[in-house]
Amino acid sequence: MRHTLPLAPQFYVTAPQPCPYLEGREERKLFTALQGDHAVLLNDSLSHQGFRRSQNVLYRPSCADCNACMSARIRVADFKPKRSQKRIQKKNAYLRREATSPWATEAQYDLFSTYLGARHATGGMADMDVFEFASMVEETPVRSRVVEYHAPAQNGETRDRLTAVCLTDVLDDGLSMVYSFFDPEMEKNSLGTYMILDHIEIARAANLPYVYLGYWVPDSPKMGYKANFASLEVYHKGEWCNVDDPQAFETDAPAMGTLPIPEQVAAITLPDILNR
């Protein structure tokens, strides 16, 4: 199905398929192509409205009978790490961060494959080959960076060891963590949490107000961890809301349905330069 604003761009909706986060539910996505001279403006604008980027596509959940998935972001200025998070920062302080252009490497793919095999062996990305991985990293029409974390060489190693990677977009108001993965053998280091904490520090140094984390799904074991971060906001019912009490959103998450697709599209706002 295709639904078109009286403006560019055009919006589409996917066919329903099994939800990867909540058993027994189906997911559906509203999406549009991210391309052209104004891709950066479109990415910024729609990210403010709960959309996420995947290569040259922007999408947002639009499930017929559920609105549990909510785009989440951290307010950098107000964030204060918990005691457990400070321990994670201290534990990983020896890692060296390196931000590069979005270019895929064999070391990244090897780590990615190891991570999926240990953590998401039955997920939709499990069969991704090296060419598909390269497309995920390199096909970006916006300002993106690959943020790598390296452990110092030891035990006869000739170079530092790649331990974690995050594909990150730089928005007008923050950093968007598009996809991250890490060495599953370093589970005790909580590298997923550490990368979020480190991105908060990167954003703070760059005077960017937010770090976008992707979707928070309160009742999902895979996605519920995002509520552990202070100063969290979610895009809920058309606006950003503070998550002061995560349980309040958990009780709101069961199947409620969403607006019809045409109404959702009509409610999307775009920069003036795209209103042509």
**What tens digit of pLDDT does each residue of 90-110 get?**
999 999 999 999 999 999 999
Can the peptide bond before residue 9 be classed as cis, meaning omega within 30 degrees of 0?
yes
Residue 149's nearest CA partner among 204, 88, 64, 73 is: 88
What's the mean pLDDT in 224-248?
Answer: 89
Residue 4's nearest CA partner among 215, 270, 271 is: 270
pLDDT above 90 as % of the chain: 62
Residue extents of the structural domains in the chain: 2-70+253-274, 73-245
The CA distances from residue 271 to 20, 39, 44, 45, in Å, are 33, 11, 9, 7
What's the mean pLDDT in 16-42?
Answer: 89
Pick the residue with more confidence: 275 or 89?
89
Lowest mean pLDDT among 40-44, 62-66, 161-165: 62-66
CA separation for the pair 39, 35 (Å, rounded): 5
Q: Is the pLDDT of residue 129 over 60?
A: yes
What's the mean pLDDT in 4-29?
Answer: 81
- Token digits for 4? 């078109």
pLDDT at 276: 62
Per DSSP, 207 falls in state T
Per DSSP, 50 falls in state T
Lowest mean pLDDT among 7-21, 41-55, 160-174: 7-21
212 C-beta neighbours (distance < 10 Å), count: 26
CA separation for the pair 1, 94 (Å, rounded): 51
* Residue reference for tokens 């990305």: 125
What's the mean pLDDT in 117-126?
Answer: 67
CA separation for the pair 50, 234 (Å, rounded): 8
What's the mean pLDDT in 118-139?
Answer: 81
The pLDDT mean for the chain works out to 88
Q: Is the pLDDT of residue 172 over 90?
A: yes
Cα atoms found within 13 Å of the Cα of residue 193, Cβ hemisphere only? 23
Pick the residue with more confidence: 272 or 210?
210
pLDDT at 253: 45
Pick the residue with more confidence: 54 or 271?
54
Pick the residue with more confidence: 169 or 129?
169
Q: Categorize the per-residue pLDDT at 241 as very low, low, confident or very high, splitting at 50, 70 and 90.
A: very high
Q: Is the pLDDT of residue 155 over 60?
A: yes
Q: Is the pLDDT of residue 40 over 70?
A: yes
pLDDT at 256: 44
Q: Is the pLDDT of residue 196 over 70?
A: yes
- For β-strands 29-33 and 70-75, DSSP reports them as unpaired
Q: Considering Cα of 210, then 214, then 220, then 222, what sign does the dihedral take?
A: negative
Question: Which residues, including other chains, have CB under 8 Å from residue 157's CB and lie 6 or more apart?
Answer: none
CATH class assigned to 73-245: alpha beta
pTM summary value = 0.90
Asked whether 31 and 59 are in contact (CB, 8 A), the reply is yes
CA separation for the pair 32, 8 (Å, rounded): 10
Q: Is 108 exposed, middle or buried (0-12, 13-18, 19+ CB in 10 A)?
A: buried
- Token digits for 128? 């991704």
Pick the residue with more confidence: 121 or 14?
14
Q: Is the pLDDT of residue 69 over 80?
A: yes
